[in-house]
Amino acid sequence: MTSSHPDQLDPSTAVVALGRPERTTGAALNPPVVLTSTFVGAGEPAPGERVYARYSNPTWEPLEAAIGALESSPVPGLAYASGMAAVSAAFSLVPIGGVAVIPRTAYNGTASLARELAADGALSLREVDSADTAAVIGALEGADLIWLESPSNPLLDVADLPAIRPAAQAAGVTVVVDNTFSTPLRQRPLEVGADVVVHSATKFIAGHSDVLMGLVVVKNQALRDALARRRTLAGSVPGAFDAWLALRGLRTMALRLDRAEASAGELARRLSEEPALSRVRYPGLPSDPHHDRAAAQMSGFGAIISVELAGGQGAAQAFVDSLELFTAATSLGGVESLAERRQRHPGEPAQVPQELVRLSIGIEHVEDLWADLQRGLRGAAASQG
């Protein structure tokens, strides 16, 4: 595999160059998809010998090498069957009966898993406002793990990652950051003290709304080995074809994100001037309460905007229903723009307003997206009579 150190490459080059086969004459440019459940072998397996596709599959490895390098880890990442499988793997680092600190408004799958683990007695939970640094630090004493999601889904809260690190280190707390919204192209949590990075690769990394996958990146080989062993036993492994598609998606992530983020910045600015919206959440807006912190720790503000309709829940639903280019669907980070009123999901945190619509900006032309958003606003106005 190509071993160019990502520090020597711009990240937009690294996504193209990492995870390639050796350049030997006649070799394939791309890693192959290895579709097999088992590997030929007799007798006691030698160290590293492939045995069974739940233990290892060569198709995962270029993707794992690439994400490890992109997140500035000296060791490869680990690929999982979904983002939630990766989230579960990270929670497995809390010892039975241990204490986890989570954001009150984490992605609802993550918060629901943590609350179920707590209800089962596997761990105790402390829920905090992750943007309130004093509250986060105040919850660390005696904790085993702190979960941060920054920016968060769907409120786009930003946690002060560099400020939390020294306190977590002093208290011996493992810091996990869900980096799904930023991607390693905009924020590398391991460089500011996180111990574990989690991704739903389903989103920006795979980028085409056709794959479910998760990734975990840690900093040391011993922890990676322990997680890999647990992944084998839990069976939370990705399919080979999904891993191949995710790597294929990664190749264009810099281009896709640059385009979607530029459009998101422009659309957020225009939306913030619309009187029909009571709030536009986007950390790139200078008026956003998280702007200064985001500007200090991220190299871009991402492609997700959340808007709140002044007319309430009915107006928000009419806004979504009136869109023609944006698709009404959950998920985010794909080439196609999506819109969703998040409170349609029963498990959504109460702090997420009923009138909030999350917009995932894709790579369509910004003026077509703007025309569609205006159509949505007209639909919302019409619904108000």
Ligand X SMILES: Cc1ncc(COP(=O)(O)O)c(C=O)c1O
**176 lies in the site for ligand X, by CB under 6 A:** no
> Alpha helices of 93-189 — where are they, by DSSP H?
108-119, 133-138, 161-171
The contacts of residue 110 (CB under 8 Å, 6+ apart) are: 84, 87, 102, 147, 149, 178
Taking only Cα atoms into account, the Rg of the chain, rounded to an integer number of angstroms, comes to 21
Pairing of strands 196-200, 214-218: antiparallel
Q: Quick one: 105 or 110, whose CB is closer to ligand X?
A: 110
**249 lies in the site for ligand X, by CB under 6 A:** no
Paired tokens of 373:
């958003």
Of 244, 211, 214, 245, the closest CA to residue 227 belongs to 214
- By CB under 6 A, the count of residues binding ligand X is 15
Is residue 165 within 8 A of residue 182, CB to CB? The reply is no
**360 lies in the site for ligand X, by CB under 6 A:** no
CB of 212 to ligand X, least distance (A): 5
Q: Quick one: 83 or 189, whose CB is closer to ligand X?
A: 83
**202 lies in the site for ligand X, by CB under 6 A:** yes
Residue 241 φ then ψ, to 5°? -70, -35
Q: Could you give the CA distance from residue 172 to residue 153 in angstroms, rounded to a whole number?
A: 27
**109 lies in the site for ligand X, by CB under 6 A:** yes
By rule CB under 6 A, what string of x and - marks binding of each residue 212-241 to ligand X? x-x---------------------------
Q: Quick one: 200 or 306, whose CB is closer to ligand X?
A: 200
Only one of the segments 76-84, 126-134, 182-190, 247-255 lies at the binding site for ligand X (rule: CB under 6 A); that segment is: 76-84
By rule CB under 6 A, what string of x and - marks binding of each residue 86-105 to ligand X? -x------------------
3-state secondary structure of 6: helix
Which residue is nearest to ligand X, using beta carbons? 83
Of 172, 124, 173, the closest CA to residue 147 belongs to 173
One-letter amino acid of 144 = D
**178 lies in the site for ligand X, by CB under 6 A:** yes
Query: Active-site positions?
Result: 54, 107, 178, 203
**149 lies in the site for ligand X, by CB under 6 A:** yes
Binding site for ligand X (CB under 6 A): 82-84, 87, 107, 109-110, 149, 153, 178, 180, 200, 202, 212, 214
